[in-house]
Amino acid sequence: MDFIMNFPFFSIMICMLAALSSFMLGRKAAAIVAKGAIFITLVLSVVLTGWLHVRGESFVYMMGHFPAPWGNEIRAGELEGVMAIFTCIVALLSLTAGKTSIRTAVDKSKQNLFYLITCLMEASLLALIYTNDIFTGYVFIEINTIAGCGLIMIKNNGRAIASAVRYMVVSLVGSGLFLIGTTLLYSITGHLLMENINSSVAEIHASGNYSVTITIITALMTVGLSIKSGLFPFHLWIPDAYAVSIVPSSAMLSGMVSKGYIFLLIKLIYRVIGFDVFRSTGVFDLIFVAGIAAMIMGSVAAIRSGYLRRMTAYSSVSQIGYIFMGIGIANEAGAVAAIFHIITHGLTKSLLFMSAASFTGKKEDIKISDLKGLGHKHPVSAATFSAAALSIVGFPLFAGFIAKMLLANASFTEGWRMYGAICAIAVSTILNVVYFFRCIINLYAYGGFDGKEDETAVVATEEPQFAPTRYEKTIHGISVVLLALINLYIGFAPKLLTSILTKGLNVFD
Amino acid sequence: MFEQIYNHFNDIVAALLFVIGFSNLLFQKNLIKKIIGLNIMDVAIYLLLASQGFIRGRIAPILTDGSESAVTYINPIPSGLVLTGIVVSVSVTALMLSMTIRLYRKYRTLDLDEILMKIRQEREEED
């Protein structure tokens, strides 16, 4: 066995240990430990993905020394590697860009706990990505939920806690449904490892027994995971949670937390239930229709909300709809497009939240009409905000365009799904333009800012502790520009990423 | 019919409990009752899970009178999973209770609708 095969395990454990040690450290040491741990994980994941890409196949890693049907396993392929790299990038840049927000909005004595939660969440996401055992998947879903709740309530005001309660209530229903699905799956197959479940489900399906049970299991698990990732009818907790929490929290929640569950759903389809069996249950249609509804309704809600961060949160609802629609197209190209969009949307939405932090200042949220002229005051954030907005709208040269094109391309071979997908993408794109261009136009408008300059200067001198320091400004600028450049790079050269994703999905089952 | 009910008695009770817990979790306004609903829901799932491993007439998998054949014992894996699940459920309950305490200290009520209304008022006052 090559030493490099230990890397997935190392990445999970490094983040876990960093989380445990942050508890005992001061806030500055905790920040360094957390960023260091995530950076090491990033390096490990890059090396691992490169190695897997050259080698061209995946591997299974035994946890402990029990062989296949009994032990616990980790599996790593290119797909998992790319997802790990992506979560590390988002987590690291959220921490660096959100430094001001952490310093000003969180109690001094509790700032190390924020890093604890971040590391815990990164560890649980990595475990969700790498695990090959469905019950381990369930446990890490719950850890991820608790970490997400911590991210929301770290602000410790009434609003944040109330939205954390709503998030928990909805999420717990989701994990309950997932656990019932797991239980039933165990009772008909007798296995917990994904490969063994897959082969016994295929056998059971071929014999024609338990077809209703299999349908119920797939429906329960799919509904559970989509509740947790905030698909349309279950999206009510999203705007509160994303708009109320501090900046790095909303960047991570929108960029990574909901994406981990979607990745687990894709794993469920391809590795646990098996694509053909999943297709025969008809759950794909459900996902497809819910995805389209989310695309439209999320955008409409975003247009109706007059606040910047709340609007961005509703836009998340619509983008998650895109991802689910991609899965619901029910072919391999659709799944590749969905994973591609998971990555582009994660990068773009976290960039939007980070850039918006410059405009909101110490306030929780800002009216879109109050954005007038702020683009001249914060040129870097305004530029990156516009870049991210263009990417979400699907402007060519940005990653979002490639994602939408892949989604549309994937639907061409699928009969009635083609009409639905293409119409929905067209309508949703126009709606996206309506609400994002309103912000961009306001940002670069002349007028509002000139008159208010003296007043804002007075406010800034009154409360100097809320203004970002020069160092924080620089590091925020570097983070957002870096993220925008990654976005542009994916938009210019999508071949590498799509080829890795396609190859990764081929070795998935 | 009755034999079916007798054979699947645990599953039926689990399903009923799940529905009770689920609807309490979603539709109760009082936060404490919500948490009680959550616990009932979790217990229902654990009952279902534990009864998957139970085989009538067999004993717990502890070597006492030297029988090493598998037919003597029940399947221990679901029991292990239930233990893990209980740990998860305990931590989630603790978290929910701590949030409830904080909300009560701030708003002096346990009614979630009332709390959300007060938050809305707060927000309108700020604007």
Task: Reply yes or no on whether the pLDDT at A452 is more than 50.
Answer: no
Chain A CB contacts of B102 under 8 Å are: 156, 161
Domains of chain B: 2-57+72-126 (1.10.287.3510)
The pLDDT, as a whole number, for residue A459 is: 47
Return phi, psi of residue A61, to 5°: -120, 125
Q: Provide ipTM, 2 decimals.
A: 0.93
Q: What is the pLDDT of residue A461?
A: 45
Between A83-87, A104-108, A378-382, the lowest mean confidence (pLDDT) is in: A104-108
The gap from C-alpha A271 to its chain's centroid, in whole angstroms, comes to 21
pLDDT at residue B58 in the model: 82
Cβ–Cβ gap A158/B106 under 8 Å: yes
Task: Measure Cα distances from A82 to A213, A489, A490 in Å.
Answer: 34, 15, 13
Q: Which of residues 78-107 of B touch A (CB under 8 A)?
A: 78, 81, 84-85, 88, 91-92, 95-96, 99-100, 102-103, 106-107
Quote the strand ranges of A336-461, DSSP E. Answer: none
**Per-residue pLDDT at A218:** 93
Residue pair A222/A309 in contact (Cβ under 8 Å)? The answer is no
Going by pLDDT thresholds of 50, 70 and 90, the confidence category of residue A65 is confident
User: Which two tokens mark B19?
Assistant: 């529905």
Query: Which whole number is the average pLDDT over A350-374?
Result: 84
Does A81 score more than 60 pLDDT? Answer: yes
What are the residues whose beta carbons fall under 8 Å from the beta carbon of A378, sequence distance 6 or more? A358, A359
- At residue A75, the 3 state secondary structure works out as strand
Share of chain B above pLDDT 70, in %: 98
Residue A465: Cβ within 10 Å count? 8
| Least confident segment among A244-248, A297-301, B121-125 | B121-125
Mean pLDDT over A395-420 rounds to: 89
* pLDDT of the residue at A374: 83
Question: Of A329-338, A358-367, A454-463, where does the model show the most confidence?
Answer: A329-338
How many helical (H) and strand (E) elements, i.e. helices and strands, does chain A have?
Answer: 23, 2
Q: Is pLDDT at A190 greater than 50 in this prediction?
A: yes
Q: Please, are residues A69 and A196 in contact by the beta-carbon 8 Å criterion?
A: yes
Give dist(CA A44, CA A49) in Å, integer. 9
Are A158 and B119 in contact (CB < 8 Å)? yes
Q: Are A349 and A316 in contact (CB under 8 A)?
A: yes
Nearest 10 degrees: Cα torsion A281, A287, A289, A290: 140
The residue-averaged pLDDT of A397-412 equals 91
Give the CA diameter of chain B.
Answer: 75
User: pLDDT digits over B9-52, tens only?
Assistant: 888 999 999 999 989 988 889 999 999 999 999 999 999 998 88
Task: Quote the pLDDT of residue B53.
Answer: 82
Taking an 8 Å cut-off on Cβ atoms, the answer to whether B88 and A139 are in contact is yes
Q: How many CB pairs under 8 A join A and B?
A: 80
Position A345 pLDDT exceeds 50: yes
Is the pLDDT assigned to residue A408 strictly greater than 70? yes
Average pLDDT, stretch A380-390? 91
Give percent of chain A with pLDDT exceeding 90: 49
Burial class, A103, CB count within 10 angstroms (exposed 0-12 / middle 13-18 / buried 19+): middle
The band of A447, judged by pLDDT with boundaries at 50, 70 and 90, is low
- Is residue B108 classed exposed, middle or buried when 0-12, 13-18 and 19+ CB atoms within 10 A define those classes? exposed
Interface touch B99/A183, C-beta < 8 Å: no
Residue A348: the pLDDT is 92
CA distance A160 to A278: 38
Q: Which of A201, B86, B89, B60 is nearest to A192 (CA)?
A: A201
Mean pLDDT value of segment A324-351: 92
Chosen from B47, B106, B107, B111 to mutate, greatest number of chain A CBs within 10 A: B106
pLDDT digits over A131-161, tens only? 999 999 999 999 999 999 999 988 888 888 9
Dihedral-angle region of residue A373 (phi above 0 means left; psi in -120 to 50 means alpha; beta otherwise): left
Q: Mutation target for B interface from A180, A192, A362: give the one with most B CBs within 10 A.
A: A180
pLDDT of A339 reads: 93
Residue B109: pLDDT above 60?
A: yes
pLDDT at A112 over 50: yes
Q: How many CB atoms lie under 10 A from the CB of residue B117?
A: 13
Q: Residue A174's pLDDT band (boundaries 50, 70, 90)?
A: very high
Q: Give residue A458's pLDDT.
A: 42
Give the gap in angstroms from C-alpha B64 to the nearest C-alpha of chain A.
24
Dist. CA A11–CA A15, nearest whole Å = 6
List, in sequence order, every residue forming a beta bridge with A76; answer none if it has no partner.
A59
pLDDT of B116 higher than 90: no
Asked if the C-beta of B18 comes within 8 angstroms of chain A's C-beta atoms, the answer is yes
Is A370 an interface residue toward B (CB < 8 Å)? no
- Position A509 scores a pLDDT of 65
Query: Any bridge partners for residue A72, and if so which?
Result: A63
CB atoms within 10 A of CB B122: 13
B-chain residues within 8 Å CB-CB of A186? 49, 52, 77-78, 81
* Residue A225 clears pLDDT 60, i.e. is over it: yes
CA dihedral sign of residues A159, A370, A249, A241: positive
In chain A, what residues touch B116 (CB-CB under 8 Å)?
A: 162
Q: Which amino acid is at A177?
A: L
Task: Give the other-Cβ count within 10 Å of A326's Cβ.
Answer: 32
Chain A, nearest residue to B82 by Cα: A183
Residue A455: pLDDT over 70: no
Query: Chain centroid to CA A245: how far?
Result: 16
**What is the chain A residue with the closest CA to B27?**
A169
The answer to whether A165 contacts B96, with C-beta atoms less than 8 Å apart, is yes
What average pLDDT does the structure give for chain A?
Answer: 88
Query: Dihedral of the CA atoms A494, A498, A501, A503 (nearest 10)?
Result: -140
The 3-state DSSP class for residue B74 equals: coil
Query: Is A369 in CB contact (< 8 Å) with chain B?
Result: no
